[in-house]
Amino acid sequence: MGKKKKDAGKKPKGKTPTRAKSRSFPDDFPGPARAMVIMAHPDDAEFVCGGTIARWCAEGWDVTYVVATGGDKGTHDSEMHPEKLAAIREEEQRAACRTLGVGECIFLGYPDGFTSESAELRGQIVRLVRVHRPDVVITWDAYERGFNHRDHRNIGVAVADALYPLVRDRLFYPADEEDGLDSHQVNEVLLAGTANPDFEVDVSQYWEKKLDAIVCHASQIGGRTREDFLKQRQEQAGGNTQQPMVENFRRWTIRRAQAQPPEEKK
């Protein structure tokens, strides 16, 4: 029968895909909720979690982006200057946010490649989390062992440290409290770009929206079009269009502190 053999090694069951992941959205995840996506560069989020964001926004989630740098080194154009590139890339990021339905996009203004895992950066993240009070945060997996961009690593570490325990405990960065901000606890963290995912989001219905957002980053995609990305996807799927498109994460669940434990000494 004319069936191609070259993909014979791939999972033959078309109907009942037994999912390897035991945890997924929305089966094991509440919503709609508030999410904050904290990334290093404009375009990071679209590539690693654009489908998830599109899905959440469509389902009524309130999503805020925090982007640490302007991505101002990301060019091979000999005429380009960092300030100009940052302005272009920030505008591209805003367009991608509008496409996905992200409510707000905050730029921290660090130079590309020069973030440091510092008390200042942690304090900025703590404050933004206390202002926006997300239920879920998506950031880079800083503990990915392979080759990784230092900004991704630094952001991942700074966010992890900010979320536990700094943002929760009021005496860290007390100026926030003086400014009327309560401490906050984030219970769910999804790490993107991880080698060891244990959580997946089915974004099959949002894949094209993700591509719409990716192509907003025109300075970064080398002239590729939405159709090029679609074709690439079809080739990767080996013709198996039934297969769901998923985005993978490592999930951390931070236990909620006891409301008012009898012994609250520490």
Q: What is the smallest separation between the CB atom of 40 and Zn ion, expressed in angstroms?
A: 5
- The site for Zn ion (CB under 5 A) is made up of 40-41, 44
CA angle, corner 57, sides to 141 and 121, nearest 5?
A: 40
Question: Which residue's CB comes closest to Zn ion?
Answer: 41
Q: What is the smallest separation between the CB atom of 176 and Zn ion, expressed in angstroms?
A: 28
Q: What is the smallest separation between the CB atom of 137 and Zn ion, expressed in angstroms?
A: 17
What is the number of residues in the chain? Answer: 266
Q: Output 64 or 154, the one with its CB closest to Zn ion.
A: 154
CA distance 164 to 129: 12
Instruction: Give the strand order in the sheet containing 34-39.
Output: 24-25, 199-202, 246-253, 188-192, 136-140, 34-39, 62-69, 104-110
**Token code pair at residue 200:** 């997946």
Q: What is the smallest separation between the CB atom of 41 and Zn ion, expressed in angstroms?
A: 4
> Whole-angstrom distance between the N-terminal and C-terminal Cα of the chain?
71
Q: Output 40 or 137, the one with its CB closest to Zn ion.
A: 40
Q: What is the smallest separation between the CB atom of 48 and Zn ion, expressed in angstroms?
A: 9
Q: What is the CA radius of gyration of the chain?
A: 20
Q: Which residue has the tokens 């860290």?
A: 172
Q: Output 68 or 245, the one with its CB closest to Zn ion.
A: 68
Q: Which residue has the tokens 């005429």?
A: 79
Q: Output 71 or 101, the one with its CB closest to Zn ion.
A: 71
Q: What is the smallest separation between the CB atom of 128 and Zn ion, expressed in angstroms?
A: 19
Q: Output 87 or 257, the one with its CB closest to Zn ion.
A: 87
Q: Output 44 or 202, the one with its CB closest to Zn ion.
A: 44
What are the start-end ranges of the H helices in 199-260?
Answer: 207-214, 226-236
